[in-house]
Amino acid sequence: MNPTPISRVLKFATLAALAFGVVSTDAAPLYRLESALTIKSPSAPSWDYLTFDVSHDYLYIARRDDGILIYDAKAKKITGAIENSQGGNATVLVPEFDRGFVINQDGSTTIFQLSTLKTLSRAKFGEDADNGFYDGVTKQILITQGDSGQATFLDAKTGAVTGVLKIDSNSLEGVAPDGEGNFFMALRDRDKVIKIDGRTRALVAEWKVIGHKLPNGVAYDAANQRVFVSTRGENPALLVFDAVSGKVVAEPVIGRGNDQVIFDAAAKKIYTSNGFDGTLVIVEQVDANTYKLAEAATTRPYARTMALDPKTKTVYLTTAEGTVDPAKAWKTSVAPFYPNTYFKDTFVLLTYSPK
């Protein structure tokens, strides 16, 4: 049977495209769900930040009531928990001192040895705590304490308090060190981004967020001196600040309810986990001032915190099944129907990988 004129045209077009390198038979790998591991517990789920240890292929999961769970990424299973880490909300790794610091909600830190996972001590530094961030220049850990309206600094070698900075905010969110001894921090309730000198532990600059609301996650690109800040308002975006001038040079769209931002400098991609939409939105950095969507993968509702394995590009997120019980108060300021009740034995670790 002779080919029709249309089929001849299509055949010619395809051959021409191949000749000029327009058509590729190898599509770029896109993120898909690799596994969903349900982690059972005696209590209803309550959780927060994830931290990936590249040296040991461990994922530290802040399971609060159960402490910090240890997930072996090679064996693909939970192998235990950090001793005396109940109330753990985040984990900070300091490989140069072979130390890990669990940031506990009661204003204490559990210090453990990275190589053995043995707990060394647990000590109070305040009345509350949310997260912690290590700066390799000043060798300090900055701990955010929103309820107390302050940041506490710890010596990463000894765990001793080196100073406290009072901040006019009760919602101290994401923080990123710049590799020069400074920290950038988002103040969600003030719609501001501030810069803190880690050596003097003093506020040295602040930028007002314009055109957007509720800044939250923060990451930093040292090579281009760019600060990435997510926003949670009605028009959520990834604001790209010039770290010197404070000028916003780009604002690509992301999903709603972002909690964390991760910059993969090697791949030049910014990852955002967006809990309200249930999306993993990845933005590609074309150059210092130009950004475009790389992809937007669906995850699950309220999968808001994440960690990245920079070697395999695997992304880990956690969430659980929940509901709004109208007999109890719920946080409408966060989302119209932000769950106030989560169901026992529904906590799940989601593993996404490019395929």
Question: 69-88, pLDDT tens digit by residue?
Answer: 999 999 999 999 999 999 99
| β-pair partners for 197 | 182, 202
Q: pLDDT at position 26, please?
A: 60
Residue 134, domain extent: 46-312
Confidence at residue 25, expressed as pLDDT on a 0 to 100 scale: 45
Show the low-confidence residues of the chain (pLDDT under 70). 1-26
The reply to whether 70 falls in a domain is: yes
User: What confidence score (pLDDT) does residue 336 get?
Assistant: 87
Tell me, yes or no, whether 24 lies in a domain: no
The C-alpha atoms of residue 122 and residue 250 are separated, in whole angstroms, by 43
Residue 306 gets which letter from DSSP?
E
Determine what percent of the chain is predicted with pLDDT higher than 90.
89
Q: How many folded domains does the chain comprise?
A: 1
What are the contacts of 327-336 at 24+ separation with CB within 8 A? Answer: 334/257, 335/256, 335/257, 335/276
pLDDT score at 11: 45
The three-state secondary structure class of 264 is strand
- Residue 27 confidence (pLDDT): 75
Question: What's the CATH code of the domain at 66?
Answer: 2.130.10.10
Q: CB under 8 Å to 246, separation ≥6 — which residues?
A: 193, 205, 207
Give the pair of three-digit tokens for residue 322. 């929940």
Cα separation, 177 vs 221, whole angstroms:
10
State the pTM of this model.
Answer: 0.92
Q: Is residue 123 part of a domain?
A: yes
282 in any annotated domain: yes
Instruction: Confirm whether 218 is domain-assigned.
Output: yes
Residue 291: is it exposed, middle or buried by C-beta count within 10 angstroms (0-12/13-18/19+)? buried
Alpha-helix residue ranges (DSSP H) falling in 129-224: none
What's the rounded Cα separation, in Å, for the pair 273 and 299? 9
